[in-house]
A = this chain, B = another copy of it.
Amino acid sequence: MSIKQVAKLAGVSTATVSRYLNSPEQVKEKTRDKVQAAIDKIGYAPNALARNFRRGKTSLIVVVLPSIGDPFLESVMRGVWKVADELGYSILIRDTQSNSHEFDEYTDLVFSKQADGILLLASISPFSEPEAQRGSRGKTHPPLVLGLESVTRELIRFPSVRVDNVAAAAEGTDYLIQLGHQRIAFIAGKRDSLLTHDREQGYRNAMGAAGLEIAEDWVVEGEQTIDGARRATRQLLQLQQRPSAIFCANDEMALGALHEIKSAGLKVPQDISVIGFDDIRYAEITDPPLTTIAQPAEEIGERSMRRLCQIIDGNSDERGPETVPHKLIVRNSTAKISGR
């Protein structure tokens, strides 16, 4: 059951067994065979717990994300896993259930040595003052990299990998403006999501740059869910001055918007254009297929994970944010504004 029994059975010392396990080339072939035979005989499996304990390393990385089952995050995770496999790490996923508090709950996993680092793919809102607290307690920061999300002032010092959400959203909005739209609404996410906040900012920037007004009730909250977006859309449709286009802060909400618009008997894009963000796999099979802004999801996962591992291994080269390119994908949910 333990290394001792293997040693006894093989007639060698525990040190030799350990060596055989970790650097076999240091063990004479004849001894190797004896040890392996003993291992097979008693069905020995090394206790990884003891090993990690001894080594002071878990090779476990915690990925914090708002919601498993998010098709976009799935793509990001694919990149994360790729690197993890390559570098010998395991991934522990924590789903925040779309709540964005309790930063400490996750960092504690590192401080208590249960994990080596944290990949944060979720919104950590205002980030309270754990920062200051840590400082005063003499604690150091855990290895941490941010993916996707925009960065608050408190987090700016951490490495991050993401698209330029402001610019991307501005580009999407511009596209609508080029199509002749002027009454453009925006369905935002949760209030405390920095990410959708940035996208909203991009939208506002583009509108401002084009000299277009944004009516007070053109920006509504969609709660990052289909149902939330449906409610938001319903509000927009009831407006006196109905918008001719809707920018949804992500595709999930765009799906809800599309459905609600069609349920109201209106046509997309003839009556209303819709644009999303993320390019999830469902975007191309909606009816009509959704115009959206794609992020290089897998690349984001891969690069952020790689940076995290570098930090853990003490090879943290550079700091600060890293930006990856986005891309506007034009499908059929957007069209020139109909003459009226």
Contact = CB atoms under 8 A, between A and B. Distances in A.
Interface in A78-102: 78, 81, 90-93, 95, 97
A137 B39 CA distance: 10
B49 A58 contact: yes
Nearest to A40: B137
A258 B282 CA distance: 12
Contacts of A77: 68-69, 95
7 contacts: A45-B112, A50-B53, A70-B74, A78-B97, A91-B93, A226-B282, A259-B285
B226 A281 contact: yes
A175 interface: no
A127 B58 CA distance: 29
Interface string A110-129: 01111000000000000000
A114 B48 contact: yes
B285 A287 contact: no
A81 B98 CA distance: 14
A45 B108 CA distance: 8
Contact of A92 (B40, B92, B282): B92
A90 B262 CA distance: 43
A67 B71 CA distance: 10
A138 interface: yes
A146 to B, nearest CB: 20
A28 interface: no
A219 interface: no
Bin the interface of chain A by size: 35 or more
A174 B75 CA distance: 37
Interface string A234-266: 000000000000000000000110110010000
Closest 5 CB pairs of A and B: A69-B74, A43-B137, A259-B285, A48-B112, A45-B111
Contacts of A68: 68-69, 73-74, 77, 93
A230 to B, nearest CB: 8
The residue in A69, A112, A259 that gathers the most chain B C-beta atoms within 10 A of its C-beta is A69
Given A43-B138, A49-B49, A285-B259, A95 B73 contact: no
Contacts of A285: 226, 255-256, 258-259
A49 B114 contact: yes
A310 interface: no
A144 to B, nearest CB: 16
A270 interface: no
Most buried by B among A40, A75, A91, A114: A114
Contacts of A208: none
A48 B53 CA distance: 9
A153 interface: no
Contact of A282 (B67, B113, B255): B255
Contact of A43 (B58, B114, B139): B139
